[in-house]
Structure 1
Amino acid sequence: MDNYQIPAKTRIGHVHLKVSDLQRSLDFYCGLLGFELMQTYGDQAAFISAGGYHHHIGLNTWYSKGGNPAPVNTAGLFHTAIVYPERKDLAAIVIRLFDAGYPLTGASDHGVSEAIYLDDPDKNGVELYWDRPRDQWPLDKNGQLEMYTNRLDMEGLLALAK
């Protein structure tokens, strides 16, 4: 193999999820998380976004209508990660989830970011997080990035929402 490197400004544009019930998924992603419905494709697919982009998430029932969640111990998507612009924005969605009684599956401080974890109605993993400024990322003694998984300071996070 040669030394090809993907361009630094490359980004992941969207995720497209197979879901079993389109309306239930729209209730979660739009109704609870606050995404905007941009377009539907009949009663089989929907495209949603933040800020009016054509779509960040596609949802479809083409092969999965009425289906069961994928088994945990098989290959597939671990989670979709949604990045919030600021820590206070993450705090606001955590309060919204708590107020709705929606269960979290985890919460972590990764050094570079703070994240909460939950499952959508089809048991697709969802990570909601914000990135710390790059100059605050943890480095080892050689100046290399050193991420970790520590307990999230939930009290400190939630204090921002008050």
Structure 2
Amino acid sequence: MTDTRSAAGDLLAADTGMDAVSLRVGDLAVMSSYYREALGLEVVGEDAGSVVLGRGLTPLVALEHAPGLPVAARSQAGLFHTALLFDTPAALAATVYRAARDQRSAFVGSADHLVSEAFYFTDPEGNGIELYVDRDRSEWSYRNGSVEMATLALDATDYLLRNLPANGESELHDAATVGHVHLQVGDISLASAFYVDALGFETTLEVPGALFVSAGGYHHHMAMNVWNSRGAGPRAASLGLAEVAITVPERADLDAVSERLRHRFIPVQDDGSSLRVDDPWGTRVTLSVGGTSL
């Protein structure tokens, strides 16, 4: 979607990306085991009460032990899903095959979104997970300045038959990144004011009840919906999403975001290498240079 703010420098840099998603978990051992065994992630960092998992040197999920916190209500603002992006259909199929065979996974469904092909699960504590692969950008279509996305049928069995490597898991540990993060919010207009106007994402698509935003023309780095959470207020302390992390290329990009936030009287913490700010529902968002937030 064309955005006139680009000339004024009010947009996030084109090579902005998503960093590891932080989750508060009730059972650190079970959750760490699940992400390792069902999704083929590896421990890339570990401390007392926390584990960071990823592929290779790329962190994807950070688990924070938070015993005693309640499970988040379905109607509460917070995480809808963390979306892990794979480079090839074979790598995606290998991970989907592994996840589907793990009895702790709940398979939610699959879809052809025109720009991507995706499979959905929930982890043992109810956090949403999307596993997906993008179609080449040359295949994306646009209408009235918005990228065209849809939710079309995608036969999971057929997809695996066509794309699964011969031995089933030869590409299980291939690279992956956090492609996007999808949130539940209480109001789309408030979400737009924060994530678009203040942080500097561009709107790529808006449909009833949902907003998709990105940097650099991607179909979406973040999305927000009110499908379960319309009217939700500030989040209660609970298990689930702890932090969304965004990376930018240079310190100057952080300065520009900080200026936009302060101009709108939105409190922001700046420790010199990263910014920390809460969205209107109390979801912590961290922006850092080159993934230095973890």
TM-score normalised to structure 2 length: 0.50
- In structure 2, which of residues 49, 57, 62 is the aligned counterpart of residue 58 of structure 1? 62
Which amino acid in 2 is paired with 1:149? T
- Is 90-99 or 103-112 further displaced after alignment? 90-99
Structure 1 stretches of 4+ moved >2 Å: 66-69, 97-103, 153-156
TM-score normalised to structure 1 length: 0.87
In structure 1, the partner of 2:131 is: 128
Partner deviation per Cα, 1:116-157 (whole Å, 9 max, x = no partner): 1111111011111111110111333x5742111111132441
Superposed CA RMSD in Å reads: 1.8
Is 1:74 matched up with 2:80?
A: no
- Is 98-107 or 11-20 further displaced after alignment? 98-107
**Unaligned runs of at least 5 residues, structure 2:** 167-294
Which amino acid in 2 is paired with 1:69? V
Is 1:48 matched up with 2:53?
A: yes
In structure 1, the partner of 2:170 is: none
In structure 1, the partner of 2:185 is: none
CA distance in 1, matches of 2:142, 2:157: 25
CA distance in 2, matches of 1:80, 1:56: 9
Partner deviation per Cα, 1:79-130 (whole Å, 9 max, x = no partner): 1110011111111122222333433112111110111111111101111111
Partner-residue secondary structure (3-state), 1:78: strand
**Unaligned runs of at least 5 residues, structure 1:** none
Partner-residue secondary structure (3-state), 2:79: coil
Q: Is the 8 A contact 2:109 2:121 kept in 1?
A: yes
Matches of residues 1-162 of structure 1 in structure 2 within 5 Å?
3=5, 4-42=10-48, 44-53=49-58, 55-61=59-65, 64-101=66-103, 102-140=105-143, 144-159=146-161, 160-161=163-164, 162=166
- Is 23-32 or 87-96 further displaced after alignment? 87-96
Partner-residue secondary structure (3-state), 2:62: strand
Q: Is the 8 A contact 1:118 1:125 kept in 2?
A: yes
| Larger RCO of the pair (alpha carbons < 8 Å, separation 6+) | 2
Q: How many residues align?
A: 156
Structure whose residues are more often strand by fraction: 2
